[in-house]
Structure 1
Amino acid sequence: MQQRILFGTVLLASHVSAAEPFLGFGKDSAPVIETRTLDQLHQAALAEGGVVTLWHGGDEKNQQDSLKSSFETRFPGMTLNVTVDLSKYHDVNIDAQLAANNVYVDSVILQTVNDYPRWAAEDVLLRYAPAGFDKVHGSFKDVSAAWYGAYIFNWNTYWNLDTLKADGPVEWTDWLRPELKDKIVCTYPNDDDAVLYAFDLIMQQYGPQWFDKFVTQNIRWVRGTQTPFTIVSQKNSTYAASFIGGPLASSSNINVSFPQQGQFVSWPQTAAILKAAPHPEGAKLLHNFILSKDYQSTMGLWPVRTDIPGPAGLPAIYDMPGTNPDGFVRWMADRGRVERLRNWFESRIGSAQGLSPLIDDL
């Protein structure tokens, strides 16, 4: 009984979908539905100044270099200023800008999905539906178009083939094998909500005793969710495996797997344009670009659109066994429960140590 009280039941129901009834919109609150082409949006953004300021959730400052390069190459004359930091830091700084009536960020794409309904209720988000909004999964978007999923992030298992060969972990019980001792690197669960959710899912299945045994593997705990892959993928790394961050497909020295008997984390990294954005046309161009079929088909992640297949030969996200992206969204809304879990882990492994993001000390 104590275990059920502590961890509760994972809520997998989605939030409101586009098919559900909702209150009518007043003339000042109805969402704007984009009808312009990307080229027309490009010209409008150039006339505005040719700049977009994006705050994106992540761990390493160069994580969105590919998005910046793709955007600026596709739209000559545009500059995408991207700041990557942990979403839990970005959101409080957005709140500070709003409180001071000094908004200088145009677009936010964050992991803290719980922030968006609150911001929408405060009427600080632009109700704007980019082209392709109608193709976004209903559970990934607000019916008033104040926010919507941009792409799907997830955690899956990966390991260094030079160290573990082909015999890497697949199921969550495999992480307790003796040969993995001193070889696992993992992000502190009490430092990142999506990592915390991953451990919650595992313990829903195997109980807190799984974590007690996992800790005896002498885990290298780090900050940042890109950091484990950075460490594991290094040549001659003594750390061989992780299930935080990493690629969706195997490569020459990295093998990838998904649990067949357990659950893994996936969620829609969610986007919005601030109502007081200084460059709204540039932000609209960016969001239309991200939701375009071309970008969603080539970004190497699960798309949020229903008309594009899964990446790397994988099924579409709702057809993928072992995951439910709606679960994380509902889980994040129960902040009291999240904080209790965070404190539970911190009482066992201590507070997160090291730089955040961890860049130099690898």
Structure 2
Amino acid sequence: MVSAYDPTFGYDGAPEVETRTIDEIYQAALAEGGVVTVWHGGDEKTQQNRLKQAFEARFPKMTLNVTVDVSKYHDGNIDRQLATGGVYVDSVILQTLHDYPRWDNEGALLHYVPLNFYNVHPSFRDLRGAWHGVEVLAWSFLWNTNKISEGPREFDDFLKPEYKGKLVLTYPNDDDAVLYAFDLIMQQYGYGWFEKLLAQNPRWVRGTATPVTLIGRNGSEALTFTSSAGLAPSAPLGIALPTKGLFVSWAQRAGILKDAPHPEGAKLLHNYMLSEEFQATNSSWSVRMDIPAPAGYAKVMDVPSTNPTAFGEFMGDRARVERLKLFFEDKIGTPQGLSPLNDDL
């Protein structure tokens, strides 16, 4: 159960440092029952099918139960488990970066240093192993090359007359990473940019996967800047990253709950996700310093138009985040529609 006091002065925070091979951890996970349950942030139920398939193929007889939901809903339900002592989830991988220091301060996270932990960029890992990044996510400019001949290169380009009625964007007051994108843009380009964007008559949707889905269909939606499709998306998607404007990137965090029912299974999952075989197959930047960036890109820490550590700082200032949400709610209304997990988009 989560502590009702500050556990700091127990002075028992030294992490467990993994010395076994990944196959030895696998055998321990099998002996434990061969199951690991992970709650993963996202907005489409099938988003982590690749992880499940890859993990179960690499470790036969293991079962990865993965539930995808919006991170801001997952974290409240984790809090409920911690408060009632009914923890049944092993690992949590979420966009709500501010939750991990809080859970750690409450004594809810296992201090565990997996293999390859020290290859992870220091900014992407907790000193005592309470959490670490597993993948770098970033919003990019995406468009359907069959619908528009030339895609945007900077945020001002989205104001071009030829894009009017073709933009599809995620509600910034429904997703904190999108909210941060708008905050960065408007700090740089001013409120007037936003007024001109509204005049472009964008379609506002729930979920960051939804714009990519709509762009790929036969409708008028053709471009977005509130989604990700990796750094080498399949045709007909075109991609660009701004060099003058600032775009959002961050390392999605993962932690193991201290009272996880399958700690060995969770350890196996975390070691696998930090392994070279998994990190090298990601379509984005790796959290590991020793894994090269995808072809044609610099390592994320060397890209001048993004700061992957800044999103965590933004998320930590909840008062400002909530003020910004209300600001955008006043301008574009409350998010409309079903949860992106339950709609047909």
TM-score by length of 1: 0.91
Mapped contact 1:227–1:358 kept (Cα < 8 A): no
Q: In 2 relative to 1, CA 250–151 (structure 1 residues): closer, same or farther, beyond 3 Å? A: closer
1:240 matched to 2:222: yes
1:38 equivalent in structure 2: 22
Matched, 1:347 2:330: yes
Contact preservation (8 Å) 1:227, 1:359: no
CA distance in 2, matches of 1:294, 1:224: 29
1:16 corresponds to which residue? Answer: none
Tell me the distance in 2 between the aligned counterparts of 1:309 and 1:205.
31
Shift of 1:286: 0.1
Q: How does 1:181-192 map to 2 (within 5 A)?
A: 181-192=164-175
Which segments of 5 or more consecutive residues in structure 1 lack a partner in the other structure? 1-22
Deviation at 1:251?
3.4
Give me the identity figure in percent: 59
Q: Which residue in the other structure is 2:4 paired with?
A: none
> Residues 96-139 of structure 1, C-alpha deviation per residue, up to 9 Å, x if partnerless?
00000000000000000000001111111000011011111111
Asked if 1:109 corresponds to 2:89, the answer is no
> Residue by residue, what CA displacement relative to the aligned partner does 1:37-89 show, whole Å, maximum 9, x if unpaired?
11111110010000110000000000000000000000000000000000000
In 2, Cα distance between equivalents of 1:194 and 1:252: 26
Alignment partner of 1:298: what SS?
coil
What is residue 309 of structure 1 aligned with on the other side?
292
- Equivalent in the alignment of 1:129: 113
Match of residue 277, structure 1, among 249, 257, 260: 260
Aligned length: 337
Q: Which residue of 2 aligns with 1:298?
A: 281
Alignment match, 1:288: 271
| 1:327 aligns with one of 300, 307, 310 | 310
8 Å CA contact retained: 2:69, 2:341:
no
CA distance in structure 1 between the aligned counterparts of 2:222 and 2:82, rounded to whole angstroms: 44
| CA distances 1:3-36 after superposition (whole Å, capped 9, x unpaired) | xxxxxxxxxxxxxxxxxxxx9994x321011111
Task: State how 1:252-263 maps to structure 2 within 5 Å.
Answer: 252-263=235-246
Q: Secondary structure at the match of 2:280?
A: helix
Q: Distance in 2 between matches of 1:49 and 1:358?
A: 30
Computed over aligned residues only, the root mean square deviation of the Cα atoms, in angstroms, reads: 1.4
Given that 2:89 and 2:261 are in contact with CA atoms closer than 8 Å, whether structure 1 keeps it comes out as yes
- Relative to structure 1, the CA distance from residue 49 to residue 41 in structure 2 (aligned partners, 3 Å threshold; closer, same or farther) is same
Mapped to 2, the partners of 1:264 and 1:272 lie a distance apart of: 26
What is the TM-score normalised by the length of structure 2?
Answer: 0.95
- Counterpart of 1:295, as a letter, is F
Matches within 5 A, 1:132-143: 132-143=116-127
Deviation at 1:184, TM superposition (A): 0.6
Q: Are 1:231 and 2:214 matched, yes or no?
A: yes
Aligned partner of 1:209 in structure 2 is 192
SS class of match (2:309): helix
- CA-CA distance at 1:206 after TM superposition: 0.7
Distance between the aligned counterparts of 1:361 and 1:274, measured in 2? 33
For residues 142 and 78 of structure 1, what CA distance do their matches in structure 2 show?
28
* 1:223–1:358 Cα contact (<8 Å) kept: no
Given that 2:171 and 2:204 are in contact with CA atoms closer than 8 Å, whether structure 1 keeps it comes out as yes
Q: Which runs of 4+ in 1 moved over 4 A?
A: none
**Partners of 1:303 and 1:258 in 2: how far apart?**
17
Question: What is the distance in 1 between the residues matched to 2:246 and 2:164?
Answer: 23
Distance 1:201 1:330 in 2: 13
Asked if residue 156 in structure 1 is aligned to residue 123 in structure 2, the reply is no
Q: Secondary structure at the match of 2:173?
A: helix
Asked if structure 2 preserves the Cα contact closer than 8 Å seen for 1:222 and 1:358, the reply is no
Local SS of the residue matching 1:325? coil
- Cα offset for 1:311? 2.1
Q: Is the alpha carbon distance of 1:335 and 1:181 closer, same or farther for their aligned partners in structure 2, counting shifts above 3 Å?
A: same
Q: Is the 8 A contact 1:300 1:312 kept in 2?
A: no
Q: Which moved more, 1:209-218 or 1:283-292?
A: 209-218
Which consecutive residues of structure 2, in runs of 5 or more, have no partner in the other structure?
1-7
Instruction: Give the Cα separation in 2 of the matches to 1:208 and 1:339.
Output: 18
SS in 1 for 2:36: strand
Q: Does the Cα contact within 8 Å between 1:187 and 1:244 map onto a contact in 2?
A: yes
| Residue 359 of structure 1: how far off its partner (Å) | 5.1
Task: State the SS of the aligned residue for 1:190.
Answer: coil
| C-alpha contact 1:59 1:84 (8 A) present in aligned 2 | yes
CA-to-aligned-CA distance 1:226-276 (integer Å, 9 cap, x gap)? 111111122x33210011223212533111001121000000100000000
Q: Contact 1:114–1:329 at 8 Å: present in 2 too?
A: yes
